Structure 1
């Protein structure tokens, strides 16, 4: 490498290869709670399912991230979806099988799946 520009170009190329997306006002963030409580409840396969579903659909405006404890351990695995100009939606007791429905209805079509949220069905 002979210049800072070459290094920056290499960094950008690698970010694209590993799926890191630049945050912007139009991006949707999917955040999976990955503290020990979430992992013990099955959050790791949920995180993987979201990552695969977003990649499969080539949703470049969506980033899948992990965080620590969200604070509602009894509802793990917990997933929060942050969409521009909308309130955060918190999904609880999420399984990998629920992910395609959440991605289709909420992330693609903009309609949260209320039956998977904290206030639904006595959750």
Structure 2
């Protein structure tokens, strides 16, 4: 750090990132980060999720989990909106992440062609 302004900027950035992890009554995206997921590209999916949320300035909780149990469908994410069933999306690309956030997280419409499971 070369100045107090740089330190304050870093503090604000970290606080904003931590806010995304807060629990509560907001949308949640869970990224499968088991070894099978990582091998299938889950790190890029996580980066795409965080970038899209940042770009849209959304109040969404993002977490990571280990193996979800559907290794052949990796990379996987779960989307849970308050009061709605949890949806698991699989075989994802970074472009799919943008579509899921735009259609499901923002507009509440499940992206049916990417769904691999619904959980009540």
What TM-score do you get using the length of structure 2 for normalisation? 0.81
Alpha carbons of 1:14 and 1:57: their partners in 2 closer, same or farther (altered >3 Å)? closer
Note the alpha carbon deviations across 1:67-89, whole angstroms, 9 max, x for none. 10001111000100011110000
Q: Which residue of 1 aligns with 2:24?
A: 24
Count, aligned residues? 105
**Deviations, residues 37-87 of structure 1 (Å, cap 9, x unaligned):** 000011110000000000110002x02211100011110001000111100
Whole-Å separation in 1 of the counterparts to 2:107 and 2:12: 30
Tell me if 1:102 matches 2:107.
Answer: no
Bigger fraction of residues in strand: 2
Name stretches of at least 5 consecutive residues in structure 1 with no aligned partner: 1-11
Shift of 1:23: 1.4
Distance of 1:42 and 1:100 partners within structure 2: 16
Q: Which residue of 1 aligns with 2:7?
A: none
What's the counterpart of residue 43 of structure 2?
44
Question: Which residue, out of 50, 60, 63, partners 2:61?
Answer: 63
Shift of 1:30: 0.4
Q: For 1:91 and 1:14, locate their aligned partners in 2 and report how far apart those are by CA, in whole Å.
A: 29
Structure 1 contact 20–63 (Cα < 8 Å) conserved: no
For 2:61 and 2:42, the matched residues in 1 are separated by 17
**Structure index of larger Rg:** 1
In 2, are the aligned partners of 1:33 and 1:68 still within 8 Å (CA)? yes
